[in-house]
Amino acid sequence: MRLKQFGIACLIQAVLLSTVVNAEGSQQWPVVSIIIDDIGYHEQIDREMVDLPGDLTFAILPGGPQAKKLATYAHLQGKEVMLHMPMQSTLGLAAEIGVLNIDMGEAGVVNALQQAFAKVPHAIGMNNHQGSLLTRHPGHMAWVMTELLSKGSFFVDSRTSKKSVAEQVANEVGVPVIRRDVFLDHDINEASIHQQFNRLLSLAKKNGHAVAIGHPHPETLAVLRQMLPQLAAENIKVVPISSQIKAPHAWLSTQAATLKLDD
């Protein structure tokens, strides 16, 4: 029932977004969603990120010592909250607590997801933290999506690997899904982040919508503080990620994601 209601809400939001116009009423406004990953470890900068203007979305690591506090803080500020679920990487990076890995069976995957959601109050969806290995495995992703389906949650494919099958499996299972278009801060310097932010805007103007992922770095914070107030002048609207999520099977993504190293 929750998923059906969410699907109807998605369709309503899509209609509403398609009718957003500027003051002259002659031009549709492209929309962007900006997800800030890795929230939950550094309270000061995480709070500064939450306090940025606009409807940004915050993806919270369940193992972060400040996860519950920051999820609640973001929710009270009217910001959308997601679970940032650790998944196994191909890069041999240090694993987060509760990471989903390919040695797990279905029961282990479901249990880990349930425990993670319990640590992130107000989370209405999920994206993957790392996961360049796990998101290639259809069986494991089917278990993930089936659990999300039962919760009425959506999925954002962070696209840490161009071989990810997460979006495809989500569509097959019937989970509302969207993919990341741009990593803002793959290179952590302000010039590069500015360049990626401008790429986000270009994609939004070209396609009508775009999704970016950033992280709580001081450099990212500085660029967003500068650029977010300027979006109205660009006739671009920031919307929560749920506003862009596709209703199940409504349409397939056609925007090819650029391959980046594991998030």
User: What rounded mean pLDDT belongs to the chain?
Assistant: 86
Q: Which residue has the tokens 């089936």?
A: 146
pLDDT band at 189 (very low <50, low <70, confident <90, very high): very high
pLDDT surpassing 90 at residue 152: yes
- Residue 91 confidence (pLDDT): 81
* Dihedral sign, Cα of residue 181, residue 186, residue 187, residue 191: positive
Domain limits, the chain: 2-11+31-182
- Residue 246 confidence (pLDDT): 61
pLDDT surpassing 70 at residue 214: yes
pLDDT surpassing 70 at residue 3: no
pLDDT surpassing 50 at residue 249: no
More confident call, 146 vs 15: 146
How far apart CA 34 and CA 24 sit, in angstroms, is 26
pLDDT band at 161 (very low <50, low <70, confident <90, very high): confident
- Least Cα distance to 197 among 155, 227, 157, 153 occurs for 227
For 2-11+31-182, the fitting CATH number among 1.10.1060.10, 3.40.630.30, 1.10.3720.10, 3.20.20.370 is: 3.20.20.370
Find out whether 195 and 203 touch, Cβ atoms under 8 Å: no
Phi-psi region of 246 (alpha: psi -120 to 50; beta: other; left: phi over 0): beta
Give pairs for 147-152: CB < 8 Å, separation 24+.
147/109, 147/110, 147/113, 147/114, 148/113, 148/175, 149/3, 149/173, 149/174, 149/175, 151/2, 151/117, 152/1, 152/2, 152/3, 152/5, 152/6
pLDDT surpassing 90 at residue 117: yes
Q: What average pLDDT does the segment 64-91 reach?
A: 96
pLDDT band at 78 (very low <50, low <70, confident <90, very high): very high
Q: What average pLDDT does the segment 36-46 reach?
A: 97
